[in-house]
Amino acid sequence: MKKFIIFSFLAAAVFTTGCKKLLDQIPGDAQPGDEVLKSSANVYAVLAASYERFTNNDFMGGNFTKTSELYGDQINFVNVTGGAEVQFTQRGFSSFNSIGRSLWFTGYDAIGRANVVIKALTENSYSDLKDSAKNIWNGEALFIRGVSHFELTRLFAKPYTSNPTSDAGVVIRQKALSATEAQIPKQRATVKESYDAAIADLKLAETLLPSANGGARATKWAAKAYLARIYFNMADYINAFAYANDVITNSGYDLGTDVAVPFKTNGNLSAPTTGVVMMILGDAGVQRGSFWNSDLNNTYLPLGGTVYSLITANGGTRYTSLTAMSTSPARGISTKWSQLGASIGINVPLIRLSEMYLIRAEARVQNGGFTDAAVRADYNAVRAVAGVSADVTATGAVALLTIIRNERAVEFFTEGDSYHELRRLKQNVRGIAYNDATGLLKIPDGEVRANLGIIQN
């Protein structure tokens, strides 16, 4: 049922019984046989399989968010007493950690299938496939590959703000491999090389993708928004501003008037929900099970007191409609994901428009030559959606940056943002340095066995 929900937009694709069986048997890094690549319908099926792995609960549809929050400092670990999650409490990670394994291999499965699509579209011509469709499929595969490499780097490597030219990033896979080639060891690239690979893919994707492509498929605006996120993580504020400004100014998207809309059940969408640049259409069971429980005291990953205090003080409707308070003991509960249980498609925002406004606001300050009013206008636009009064008094870089960063914490709680912000800003994370490798998941055992001598975290 889940896969049908996620890929209802691909219903026109020809999923023959033979192709299904073949796709189930292909290793994530391996190239399917020529019989698949001869058919454009089968190539489309491989693209659908790549989307499924990308949006799966084991990757961007769930565990990416959960892992980012477990890494960070906004979660109260009171109910984490066992399982793979308990390793995050003391950062005593094992290469057998089930969360790390699912993230790594599901992400590379998405990348591997994207590589198959890119190879097929590059090397084969199809009489039944228009160039416009070919370009879109190619752009979608590049988007999946670029974002996957980037997000895997953020989860398994030190931040770009450490030593990107020497720190180990991830294994870069940009080629559809034969079964034999897939067994050849390949070492981790540097963090810089990993980021550069993601940027190159997304820059090409933005030239191939359309402005609108269905509610749960990549568009040129999704590629541009991700480029803004990547450059922001690199502390390249000139490029971050340029891409964020482009999305805000030219995409036609708007922030809306209701903070809960991006998280509401709304299946079979043909366009992004208000306030969302790209969403994932899935079941979001990981978020629901992690950050909310009908018995609030049994919520697995409640909010810590610091961020909850920020939300209480300045959250507006983000407090009244997106959080709750458990009273014994007192701790905050995120209800962003509490609606996720219906049998139809669910909105899981991959990247939201409010992030573009807050990136642009901070980039204005970081780049210098800003006006206080322009910076305030950006974060006030985000505040307005939550019914928070506009700030008309803050002046100067220090005051403005403090407000912007507090606004990010209030806006993106339980969406996996705060951990990556701490590392961008070179802040300690729960008592250890932002670039301490002991704070990272280990490269999974399966990858270590296949890639002898790989640099381990």
- Per-residue confidence of the chain (457 residues) as pLDDT tens digits? 344 333 433 433 333 333 343 333 344 445 555 566 778 999 999 999 999 999 999 999 999 999 999 999 999 999 999 999 999 999 999 999 999 999 999 999 999 999 999 999 998 878 888 889 999 999 999 999 999 999 999 999 999 999 999 999 999 999 987 777 777 888 999 999 999 999 999 999 999 999 999 778 999 999 999 999 999 999 999 999 999 999 999 999 999 999 988 887 655 556 677 899 998 876 677 888 899 988 888 899 999 989 999 999 999 999 999 999 888 777 899 998 887 555 455 678 999 999 999 999 999 999 999 999 999 999 999 999 999 999 999 999 999 999 999 999 999 999 999 999 999 999 999 999 999 999 999 999 999 988 888 999 9
Structure confidence at residue 348 (pLDDT):
85
Structure confidence at residue 34 (pLDDT):
59
DSSP per residue over 48-90, as a string? HHHHHHHHSTTTTTTHHHHHHHHHSSSB--TT--STTTHHHHH
Structure confidence at residue 267 (pLDDT):
53
Structure confidence at residue 33 (pLDDT):
57
Give the separation between CA 246 and CA 266, rounded to whole angstroms: 27
Give the separation between CA 204 and CA 218, rounded to whole angstroms: 13
Amino acid residing at 83:
G
Name the pTM for this structure: 0.92
